[in-house]
């Protein structure tokens, strides 16, 4: 009896031990905690940062990543005018059709079009990226735990691989990626994108701005949601006071 309990314990310890080893291999460094304008119950987006972030996305990330859920007209939320949005859309070509003759044709994008994907299909995207698929970025800050901090840390966290990590060609070391190995080369470097304002053109600033933009893309309704939350709390606190008054009045004569 004693022996069998002992052997169950030994097996249990071995199982728990191996599970821990396995998860240690997949462990990623905890993202750096940044102070975003959009965090907290009163958080809002910074429109200038959104526009800069869009510029970074468009000039850098969009050559590999799609942004399927965003239409050009949604960019109004970033503070662009209708005319500006038309011009931005017209820089892109989309596939339309079929026309009267049954053929598909290309035309400049309109504000109602969605961002076209940089690759024709998944296979083409993988082929161009050493077999790795660049995921759609529309919901990336929601799809990853602690998304905004994670994407920021990932973009700025590239390092030389420690000796015990063997990289194959096309692989890069990044401690924030689960497993530490990522197929995306560090996409940002200083002075890569020209800003129209005085904001510093450093890789770190690009990362902050593009994360603000991607967070907006994933959660365009965030400001309205938070405003509503504050209104609801305000209403509930006034309502609680009124109800307290009512309660006192009703129970006034009961001792």
Task: Indicate the residue among 75 and 111 with the shorter CB distance to ligand HEC.
Answer: 75
Task: Indicate the residue among 49 and 154 with the shorter CB distance to ligand HEC.
Answer: 154
| By CB under 6 A, residue 183 contacts ligand HEC | yes
Task: Indicate the residue among 52 and 144 with the shorter CB distance to ligand HEC.
Answer: 144
Binding segment for ligand HEC (CB under 6 A), chosen from 6-14, 42-50, 95-103, 126-134, is 126-134
Q: Minimal distance in Å, beta carbon 184 to ligand HEC?
A: 3
End-to-end C-alpha distance for the chain, whole angstroms: 66
| By CB under 6 A, residue 218 contacts ligand HEC | no
Q: Minimal distance in Å, beta carbon 85 to ligand HEC?
A: 21
CA 70-152-209 angle, to 5 degrees, is 55
Q: Using CA atoms, how far apart are residues 9 and 200, in angstroms rounded to an integer?
A: 59
Q: Minimal distance in Å, beta carbon 132 to ligand HEC?
A: 4
Q: How far is CA 69 from the centre of its chain?
A: 13
Task: Compose the 40-59 pattern: x for residues touching ligand HEC by CB under 6 A, - for all others.
Answer: ----------------x---
Query: According to CB under 6 A, which one of 63, 87, 93, 237 is a site residue for ligand HEC?
Result: 63
Q: Using CA atoms, how far apart are residues 182 and 171, in angstroms rounded to an integer?
A: 6
Query: 117 near 124, Cβ under 8 Å?
Result: no
């Amino acid at each position: 009896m004693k022996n069998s309990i002992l052997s169950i314990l030994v097996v249990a310890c071995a199982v728990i031990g191996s599970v821990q080893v396995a998860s240690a291999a997949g462990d990623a460094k905890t993202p750096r905690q940044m102070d975003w304008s959009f965090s907290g119950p009163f958080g809002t987006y910074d429109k200038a940062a959104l526009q800069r972030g869009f510029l970074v996305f468009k000039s850098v990330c969009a050559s590999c990543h799609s942004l399927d859920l965003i239409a050009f007209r949604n960019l109004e939320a970033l503070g662009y005018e209708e005319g500006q949005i038309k011009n931005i859309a017209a820089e892109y070509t989309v596939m339309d059709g079929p026309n009267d003759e049954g053929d598909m044709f290309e035309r400049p994008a309109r504000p109602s079009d969605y961002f076209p994907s940089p690759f024709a299909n998944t296979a083409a995207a993988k082929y161009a990226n050493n077999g790795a698929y660049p995921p759609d970025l529309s919901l990336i800050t929601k799809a990853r735990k602690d998304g905004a901090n994670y994407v920021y840390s990932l973009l700025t966290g590239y390092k030389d691989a420690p000796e015990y990590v063997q990289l194959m060609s096309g692989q890069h070391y990044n401690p924030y990626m689960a497993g530490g190995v990522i197929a995306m080369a560090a996409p940002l470097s200083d002075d890569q994108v020209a800003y129209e304002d005085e904001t510093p053109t450093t890789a770190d600033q690009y990362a902050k701005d593009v994360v603000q933009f991607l967070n907006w893309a994933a959660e365009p309704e965030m400001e309205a949601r938070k405003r509503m939350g504050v209104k609801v709390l305000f209403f509930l606190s006034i309502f609680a006071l009124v109800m307290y008054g009512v309660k006192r009045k009703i129970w006034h004569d009961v001792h």
